[in-house]
Amino acid sequence: EDQVTQSPEALRLQEGESSSLNCSYTVSGLRGLFWYRQDPGKGPEFLFTLYSAGEEKEKERLKATLTKKESFLHITAPKPEDSATYLCAVQSSNTGKLIFGQGTTLQVKP
Amino acid sequence: DAGVIQSPRHEVTEMGQEVTLRCKPISGHNSLFWYRQTMMRGLELLIYFNNNVPIDDSGMPEDRFSAKMPNASFSTLKIQPSEPRDSAVYFCASSLGGLGTFGSGTRLTVV
């Protein structure tokens, strides 16, 4: 069964304190792995797509990496405006469906 | 571009009532997705359309749920009759061959 598990569920960081979010997955053929950011009261906003193990993508303080079993979203020197829920999703090449994880809620305190 | 527009933003209804959620996709997008988000189950795909045709509705939980896309600029998700367990945030997303841009969602509360 295709499945995505994110950890931790919640993360509190001080401003400037770097950390990583984990996304473990099992999927019958990976078409792509996606990271989204979701702010309260809003829909998910696309951040990155990763297609193959070893691939990395960066955007400002965020860097996403991918292995055959998991992905990490590294946050370097976070700021309070990085506070949000980060969602990971995988797309099965068999079904084409997006399967989302439960998300990690990040709070960055000044 | 105004993005994906959903209405209403909030809906409170009594159990047994019919509920209709509306979505206006981004102009030019040819795929439309309906998702449901709850604390327990996270974000789940309910149904998606391509060129106004329903392609996969396997995520629709029960016959009480139905979705239509009468034209390229409008879609509805209807729940009849509604139940308290239907309480969730319902998102619509549209895309042109990609993953999709999400709307801001409709928060549905069934009491």
Query: Which tens digits make up the pLDDT trace of B49-78?
Result: 999 999 989 899 889 999 999 999 999 999
What is the residue-level pLDDT of chain A in tens, covering all 110 positions? 889 999 999 999 999 999 999 999 999 889 899 999 999 989 999 999 999 999 999 999 999 999 999 999 999 999 999 999 999 999 888 877 788 999 999 999 99
> Which amino acid appears at position A102 of this protein?
Q
Touching A: B residues 14-53, CB under 8 Å: 42-45
> Which amino acid appears at position A28 of this protein?
S
Question: Torsion-angle region of residue B2: left (phi > 0), alpha (psi -120 to 50) or beta?
Answer: alpha
Residue B66 contacts A where some CB pair is shorter than 8 Å: no
Cα–Cα distance measured from residue B31 to residue B43, given in angstroms and rounded to the nearest whole number: 18
Taking CA atoms, what residue in A is nearest to B97?
A96
Q: What is the mean pLDDT of chain B?
A: 93
When pLDDT is cut at 50, 70 and 90, the band that residue B1 belongs to is low
> Chain A closest CA to B57's CA: distance in Å?
11
Q: What is the mean pLDDT of residues B83-105?
A: 91
**Total residues found in chain B within this entry:** 111
CB of B86 closer than 8 Å to CB of B106: no
> Chain A closest CA to B107's CA: distance in Å?
9
Q: What is the mean pLDDT of residues B20-33?
A: 95
CB of A45 closer than 8 Å to CB of A23: no
> Chain B closest CA to A86's CA: distance in Å?
12
Q: Which residues pair with B43 in a beta bridge?
A: B37
Q: Which residues of A touch B104 (CB under 8 A)?
A: 41-43
Cα–Cα distance measured from residue A38 to residue B109, given in angstroms and rounded to the nearest whole number: 21
